[in-house]
Amino acid sequence: MQARPVDELTEKEARAELARLAEQIARANRAYHTEDAPEISDAEYDALKQRNLAIEARFPALKRADSPSEQVGGALAEGFAKVRHKVRMLSLANAFEDEDVAEFDARIRNFLGLSADAPLAYTAEPKIDGLSLALRYVDGILMQAATRGDGETGENVTENARTIADIPQRLSGAPEVLEVRGEVYMSHADFAALNTRQEAAGEKTFANPRNAAAGSLRQLDAEVTRSRPLKFFAYAWGEHSEPLAETQMGAMERLKALGFQVNPYTTRCDGPREMLETYRRIEAGRADLGYDIDGVVYKVDDIGLQHRLGYRSTTPRWAIAHKFPAELAWTRLEAIDIQVGRTGALSPVARLHPVTVGGVVVSNATLHNEDYIAGRDSKGEAIRGGKDIRVGDWVQVYRAGDVIPKVADVDLARRPGDAVPYEFPTTCPECGSEAIREEGDSVRRCSGGLICPAQAIEKLKHFVSRAAFDIEGLGAKQVEQFYRDGWIREPADIFTLRARYGSGIQQLKNREGWGERSAQNLFDAIDERRTIPLDRLLFALGIRHIGEVAARDLARHYGSWAALIAAIDLATPAAERQRQAEAAREAERRAAADEGRRAQLKKAADAVWAAEPEIAKEARAAWDDLVGIDGIGATVAQSLTTSLTQEAERASVERLVAHLTIEAVEPIGAVESPVAGKTLVFTGTLEKMTRAEAKARAEALGAKVAGSVSARTDLLVAGPGAGSKATKAAELGVEVIDEDAWLALIGGA
Ligand SMILES: NC(=O)c1ccc[n+]([C@@H]2O[C@H](COP(=O)([O-])OP(=O)(O)OC[C@H]3O[C@@H](n4cnc5c(N)ncnc54)[C@H](O)[C@@H]3O)[C@@H](O)[C@H]2O)c1
Ligand SMILES: [Zn+2]
């Protein structure tokens, strides 16, 4: 799907899109970081993050409280003890183009107040595609190893780390306290051998070396980790009782002297030109390294400057990851299959002649939707120069350290003479119901609803998934089996399973794969989930557009299931009216040629509301309240009201809820600091740091920095030459302090 250019978005569209992006990114993070099983490609993920950043840059006011640009990694997996990091473990900002590197240099000079020709050195080193690990040594003895987790708290994997040969158990000549950080990874050869062994043993194989490394390190049984050939490169440090060196290069040498592996391709560079040369050299040697790298990391060499530059919410200002472009290959498209998803979406899947892309054999790829196959985007505009995709075509497959590959291009010169345009089905291949494509939707959907077995099964799978009810022993496979046998047709049936079959556990025992013990465990696991937080329940229902983030927003707003349902019922007539008004407006918009007429028609559409005084005030208020929730918006609200008031669907939800105790959800906490939550203004000349640096420090401590003084200002930091702002602050009774007092307040220079 071709996304709309960010600078064409209206504020309303931007808000809705930020919500959607938060959703998609949260989901990808969970799959990738928590479950080691990514669902989208890295390139696709990076594109989502970039777009989110671009929209936030254009509409700073719309930035969400739970913005993905403020988060690192994913939730911790269950079963590990938690380790709170003394120094946060962060992510890296990305560069994709050469210009981004020059800009990175310019930004740093600007921040530090350095002229364009002042010397400024960097290091360039391969970005290892593994997972980061923090090793804590006290008096030279390895005491603790922790994964990054969400950056604040990681998983304790000490015993697992002790099994890795590259990780020294003892250091001599190290500072009293030293936390060494680096990347755990697996070589290509070890990865291939591991997959062969896994396959022979009938165990799951890994999609790529990164997943294999992450899955192997994060094992509850360290003996499993021992059997996996993991390696480790050191490249950073956390808490340390004395400095390692004055430069990044020096620190790497010191780490090497202490007995760590450091990457031999790390190079000192005198500026962007040398950085790009090093990037090209590392990229050219990539295939011969024997392990995966996904880019080059540049870091300011001078550690003193690194300290001054400091951090944004999730990334250091003094480093950036320059990513390699995605990997591509050509192969033949053998067939197009249609899969039916949870919301009835018909998704076309390309069956490919197997081809190796970036070290992974690819035989399926997504084709997105019917427009994509036809060579159009959702607006009807040409993509790929308008080339359609046909069975028999040679297609370009695109992958970037990822799992679901895509078809990016078609070679018309190699198109077989008898190839015909693909005809997208207009009935559901699973249940035969009509498949409808609504105005403005790029996806065709099966209209069968709950009678469509594909939708019912996908809904159930979603219901029991990790982020939803997470019922131990009831995975996708079991759900399919239970559905086929007619034991579970809808979520409520899960909670009556024991009542219906429990007395005769015999029945379950007689089935493939179930014993007395596992049946009993399943019933117990189900009982454990009879109490469920409201947000999880909402997410589990699998309503279109309601992902984890929207579910949490709704749960926080309404507090209880009863309040939510009451509000929805109340808002529904208004929702319907709104839908009609929008449909009218949309139809007119398409008909209207010129501005004047459009305005006239907009008025007419607005009149739909005006002409309906019987839509009670409360309905309107309930609707406004719903769409007013930060991050919800009309699309989510419509989906929620439509699905929860649709008769069969509502009945099914009511049957489910009757078995549950639903818990309220608490709001999130904030950073603790003397300026957290306060609004600050800087004015005059600061002498110890640039304005940018001061602002960054304040924001890192949870303060908001405003450009002008108002009644909402809590504190004015005024350097010499402060003018009208200081006067205004005095008038408003706002507290004014100087730079030294400011430094003292935030804990020194
Ligand atoms: N496919 C998906 O669904 C999905 C989801 C989430 C994240 N991702 C991928 O994960 C990455 C984003 O996650 P991220 O927050 O870990 O950011 P990142 O991988 O872009 O950068 C930060 C990480 O780089 C690693 N690193 C490797 N070599 C390094 C070196 N020499 N110096 C410093 N750091 C080095 C560290 O582990 C560090 O935490 C991206 O590549 C993204 O595409 C993919
Ligand atoms: Zn169907």
Question: Residues 107-119: pLDDT tens digits?
Answer: 999 999 999 999 9
Q: Which ligand is nearest to the CA of 314?
A: 1
The pLDDT of residue 590: 67
- Which amino acid makes up residue 240? H
Which ligand 1 atom sits closest to the C-alpha of 266?
31
Q: What superfamily in CATH does domain 6-70 come from? A: Helix hairpin bin (1.10.287.610)
Is the Cβ atom of 132 under 6 angstroms away from ligand 1?
A: yes
Compute the distance between CA of residue 660 and CA of residue 286 in angstroms, rounded to an integer. Answer: 54
Ligand 2 midpoint to CA 530 (Å) = 30
Is pLDDT at 607 greater than 80 in this prediction?
no
Compute the distance between CA of residue 139 and CA of residue 143 in angstroms, rounded to an integer. Answer: 9
Question: Residues 309-368: pLDDT tens digits?
Answer: 999 888 999 999 999 887 788 899 999 999 999 989 999 999 999 887 766 778 899 898
Is pLDDT at 525 greater than 50 in this prediction?
yes
Contact 346, 402 (CB under 8 A): no
Ligand 1 midpoint to CA 499 (Å) = 48
Is pLDDT at 749 greater than 50 in this prediction?
no
Question: Residues 630-647: pLDDT tens digits?
Answer: 778 788 999 999 999 988
The pLDDT of residue 416: 95
Q: What is the dotted CATH code of the domain comprising 448-529? A: 1.10.150.20
The overall average pLDDT reported for the chain is 88
Helix then strand count (H, E) for the chain reads: 27, 24
Which ligand 1 atom sits closest to the C-alpha of 294?
41
Is pLDDT at 391 greater than 70 in this prediction?
yes
Ion ligand 2 nearby residues (CB, 5 A): 428, 430-431, 433, 446, 448, 452
Is the Cβ atom of 34 under 6 angstroms away from ligand 1?
A: no
pLDDT over 70 percentage in the chain: 93
Is the Cβ atom of 291 under 6 angstroms away from ligand 1?
A: no
Neighbours of 200 (CB within 10 A): 8
Instruction: Establish whether 127 is a catalytic residue.
Output: yes
The pLDDT of residue 610: 66
Domain spanning 82-323, CATH architecture: 2-Layer Sandwich (3.30)
DSSP 213-229: HHHHHS-SSHHHHHTS-
Is pLDDT at 611 greater than 70 in this prediction?
no
Write the residue with the smallest CA distance to atom 44 of ligand 1: 42
Is the Cβ atom of 539 under 6 angstroms away from ligand 1?
A: no
Q: Which CATH number fits domain 327-437: 3.40.50.300, 2.60.260.20, 3.40.605.10, 2.40.50.140?
A: 2.40.50.140
Adjacent-strand bridge partners of 64: none
Q: List CB contacts of 252: < 8 A, sequence separation 6 or more.
A: 123, 234, 235, 262, 266
The pLDDT of residue 670: 46
Ligand 1 midpoint to CA 312 (Å) = 16
Is the Cβ atom of 213 under 6 angstroms away from ligand 1?
A: no
Is the Cβ atom of 48 under 6 angstroms away from ligand 1?
A: no
- HSE-CB at 621 with a 13 A cutoff on CA atoms is 4
Is pLDDT at 180 greater than 50 in this prediction?
yes
| Strand, coil or helix: 271 | coil
Is pLDDT at 604 greater than 70 in this prediction?
no
Integer Rg of the chain from CA: 28
Neighbours of 572 (CB within 10 A): 18
Residues present in the chain in total: 749
Split at pLDDT 50, 70, 90, the class of 53 is very high
Is the Cβ atom of 40 under 6 angstroms away from ligand 1?
A: yes
Question: Residues 127-162: pLDDT tens digits?
Answer: 999 999 999 999 999 999 999 999 999 999 999 999
Instruction: Name the burial class of residue 289, with classes exposed (0-12), middle (13-18) and buried (19+) by CB atoms within 10 angstroms of its CB.
Output: middle
- Which among 45, 51, 260 is the best mutation to test ligand 1's pocket, defined by most ligand atoms within 8 Å of the CB? 45
Greatest pairwise CA separation for the chain in angstroms: 85
Is pLDDT at 298 greater than 90 in this prediction?
yes
Identify the active-site residue in 49, 127, 231, 461.
Answer: 127
Ligand 1 midpoint to CA 91 (Å) = 6
The pLDDT of residue 505: 62
Question: Residues 63-99: pLDDT tens digits?
Answer: 988 899 888 888 888 889 999 999 999 999 999 889 9
Question: Residues 407-434: pLDDT tens digits?
Answer: 988 999 999 999 999 999 999 999 999 9
- Which amino acid makes up residue 461? K
Using the Cα atoms of residue 350, residue 352, residue 354 and residue 355 in order, give the sign of their dihedral: negative
Is position 612 annotated in a ligand binding site? no
The pLDDT of residue 170: 96
Which ligand 1 atom sits closest to the C-alpha of 94?
20
Contact 283, 324 (CB under 8 A): yes
Q: Which residue shows structure tokens 């399943």?
A: 522
Write the residue with the smallest CA distance to atom 11 of ligand 1: 42
Ligand 2 midpoint to CA 570 (Å) = 31
Contact 232, 184 (CB under 8 A): yes
- Which among 42, 306, 315 is the best mutation to test ligand 1's pocket, defined by most ligand atoms within 8 Å of the CB? 42
Of residues 456 and 711, the one with the higher pLDDT is 456
The pLDDT of residue 21: 93
Contact 405, 327 (CB under 8 A): no
Ligand 1 midpoint to CA 128 (Å) = 9
Compute the distance between CA of residue 639 and CA of residue 637 in angstroms, rounded to an integer. Answer: 5
Q: What is the dotted CATH code of the domain comprising 679-745? A: 3.40.50.10190
From residue 72, how far is each of 69, 96, 595 by CA, in Å?
A: 8, 20, 45
Adjacent-strand bridge partners of 307: none
Question: Residues 8-38: pLDDT tens digits?
Answer: 889 988 998 999 999 989 988 988 888 877 7
What are the boundaries of each domain within the chain? 6-70, 82-323, 327-437, 448-529, 536-663, 679-745
- HSE-CB at 547 with a 13 A cutoff on CA atoms is 15
Q: Which ligand is nearest to the CA of 346?
A: 2
Is pLDDT at 675 greater than 60 in this prediction?
yes
φ/ψ of 293, rounded to 5, equals -130, 150
The pLDDT of residue 38: 74
Ligand 1 midpoint to CA 671 (Å) = 25
Span 652-666, average pLDDT: 91
Span 49-59, average pLDDT: 92
Compute the distance between CA of residue 40 and CA of residue 22 in angstroms, rounded to an integer. Answer: 15
Contact 406, 41 (CB under 8 A): yes
Q: Which ligand is nearest to the CA of 92?
A: 1
Question: Residues 692-725: pLDDT tens digits?
Answer: 888 878 877 777 777 788 888 899 998 888 888 8
The pLDDT of residue 4: 77
Q: Which ligand is nearest to the CA of 448?
A: 2
Q: What's the DSSP call for residue 188?
A: H
